Amino acid sequence: ARAASRPSAPPPRPIARQAAMGAEEEEEIKEYGVGTGLLESGAKERATFTLDDDDEEVGGGGRARGQKLPPSSSAAPGIPYAHVTFVEIAKQFAVLGWTAFGGPAAHIATFERVFVSSKSWLSSQVFTEFLALGQCVSGPTSTQMAFAIGVVKKGTMGGLLSGSMFLHPGFILMSILGAATGGALGRPSALVRALVAGFTAVAIALVAGAAAGLGKKVCQDKVTTCILTVSAAVCLYSKAAFVMPLLMLVGGAVTLVAYRKKDFAAEDRAEGGDIKSLGLTTRQGGILLAVWVSLLSILLIVVAATKGHLWGPLSWFSTFYTAGSLIFGGGQVLLPLLLDQMTSEGTCGDPTQCPALMTEDQFYAGLAAAQSMPGPLFNFSAYLGAVIAHNAGYWSFFGTLVCWVGLFAPGIMLIFGVLPFWGTFRRFPLYKRALPGINSAAVGLIFTAVFRMTFQAHEQSPFPKASTSIGVLSFTAVQHLGVPAPVAVIAGGCLGMLAHAARLH
């Protein structure tokens, strides 16, 4: 009787259905690195992905109670995005903070390889949206992406953790360098230049790999391929700060028209399981953006009213905060402005009362050191702050904090403030039709970076031909042999020193 009362086992799948499921599993493994039905034990079961309690509470770093995520942010069936802990966030971004050489394009390439291709933290769509978002707001793009990745996985606290882990190595090194030398740096030795040349060659290889991977994912037809190509060509021709946002706007307008009859409903159901939180609520994000604008306005008014007779540290903070708020395009766009601000006399009319903050030699010596350090180039502000304070008779680390916070604060405030609104407007049909064009134009910038970095490295390397060879070897090692990027970076530095020792060309 008990046997008869037990529910019968489900009927076996038809052979055709089993074959179809097998094909689906293979396709998922090819695209994501793991099939949704394959557990680590090898048993073929359908896995269910749920959010932990701490992803729903303010204290756990998730979204604020009452904040609604977009419909596409529920776990997407069939896409096994990894569950991420605070420990994992700290671990991954700490490693990246100490090994991410080569500038923002190389950082973005490493993020794509780690968090999209390898770890499955994000979909390629959300990643490219973050890239486009970073290009549309002022501040360092790679840094803003580091904060955004932490936010969507573990809320506001996750974003603060990921960003701080990524920033702190370069901040520590540049702070120590500025305080220890007081700006009295000499030209880097030949061995150090060789080491940096090896690092740079690997960084270019990582950028090239990311460009190829993102290009394949973003460019699904002739329209998006043409947008990417035109974007890369125009950015190669012009470095003006307004060019990239304008190209993304044009790209979005093109696909808005080209895809006016396309139905995005199926894509909505298949995407979005990687977004666990948006951090702040839209109200909190609006308040943060208002604080950013208000502080910028107050500083500009105060500087204009005092006519250069402002208390030193407040004047430094104003200079760096204004630069961080108004500069698009990252560190390379920022450098000419900072050079002028740091080495020109003040506006009070009396050179003895308003001397230059530092000499050009001090500026360029610190810049050479900053370009050989891991992490964002904006960490250069830590060195500048230490030298400025030393020259003005203040404690060096005090100047470091003032200038570093002043430069990074606007970009960080903007990304935290904009993310809640991004989570809302990404549901709009107009945005969905424009998104392929926006993303294609943004990825075009990565292709541009490959060419620019290659030309620059060829000019600056002490052994241009050997640097090119190191880059080719690194590309194959990382993209096809599965060598971890940090290992490739270290190996590239060693090869650079060997090239110097062997006197290669």
CA distances from 489 to 92, 128, 144, 375 (A): 16, 24, 23, 13
Specify the pTM: 0.70
- Residue pair 123/81 in contact by the 8 Å Cβ criterion: yes
Strand partners, 38: 44
DSSP 8-state secondary structure symbol assigned to residue 34: S
Cα separation, 227 vs 46, whole angstroms: 39
Please give the pLDDT value at position 155: 93
Please give the pLDDT value at position 309: 74
Following DSSP, what letter does each residue of 37-68 receive, concatenated? Answer: TB-TTS-B--------GGGSSTTTTSPPTTPP
Structure-block tokens of residue 87: 């420990």
Per-residue pLDDT of the chain (505 residues; tens, 9 = 90+): 455 445 544 444 444 444 444 444 444 444 434 433 333 333 333 333 333 434 433 333 344 433 444 433 333 444 567 789 999 999 999 999 998 877 788 888 889 889 988 888 998 888 988 988 888 888 888 899 999 999 999 999 999 999 999 999 999 999 998 888 765 655 667 888 888 888 888 888 888 887 888 888 888 889 999 999 999 999 888 877 678 788 889 998 999 999 887 766 555 544 555 788 889 999 999 999 999 999 999 998 988 888 767 788 898 999 999 988 887 656 666 777 787 788 776 545 455 556 778 877 778 777 777 877 888 888 989 999 998 998 888 888 999 999 999 999 999 999 999 999 998 888 888 888 888 888 888 888 888 888 888 888 888 888 889 999 999 999 999 888 888 877 888 898 899 999 999 888 7
46 Cα distance to chain centroid? 33
Q: Tell whether the torsion through CA atoms of 336, 337, 338 and 340 is positive or negative.
A: positive
Phi and psi at residue 117, to the nearest 5°: -80, -40
CA angle (146, 489, 238) in 5-degree steps? 60
Please give the pLDDT value at position 43: 37
DSSP 8-state secondary structure symbol assigned to residue 73: G
Please give the pLDDT value at position 434: 87
Cα separation, 119 vs 89, whole angstroms: 11
How many Cβ atoms are within 10 Å of 435's Cβ, its own excluded?
Answer: 23
Cα separation, 464 vs 232, whole angstroms: 24
Structure-block tokens of residue 427: 């549901």
Question: How many residues would you count in the chain?
Answer: 505
Question: What is the C-alpha end-to-end distance of the chain, expressed in Å?
Answer: 87
Please give the pLDDT value at position 484: 82
Structure-block tokens of residue 385: 């702050």
Cβ contacts of 161-165, under 8 Å, gap ≥ 24: 161/86, 161/89, 161/90, 161/93, 162/89, 162/90, 162/92, 162/93, 163/93, 163/412, 165/89, 165/90, 165/93, 165/94, 165/96, 165/97
**pLDDT tens, position by position, 204-259:** 888 888 788 888 888 888 999 999 999 999 988 887 767 878 888 999 899 999 98
Q: CA nearest 181: which of 368, 396, 364?
A: 396
Structure-block tokens of residue 165: 């882990």
The 3-state secondary structure of 207-256, one letter per residue: HHHHHHHHHHHHCCCHHHHHHHHHHHHHHHHCCCCCHHHHHHHHHHHHHH
Please give the pLDDT value at position 353: 58
Please give the pLDDT value at position 187: 62
- Residue pair 182/388 in contact by the 8 Å Cβ criterion: no
Cα separation, 453 vs 398, whole angstroms: 34
DSSP 8-state secondary structure symbol assigned to residue 480: T
DSSP 8-state secondary structure symbol assigned to residue 11: P
Please give the pLDDT value at position 351: 53
- Residue pair 76/83 in contact by the 8 Å Cβ criterion: no
Cα separation, 449 vs 455, whole angstroms: 10
Please give the pLDDT value at position 143: 92
- Residue pair 385/403 in contact by the 8 Å Cβ criterion: yes
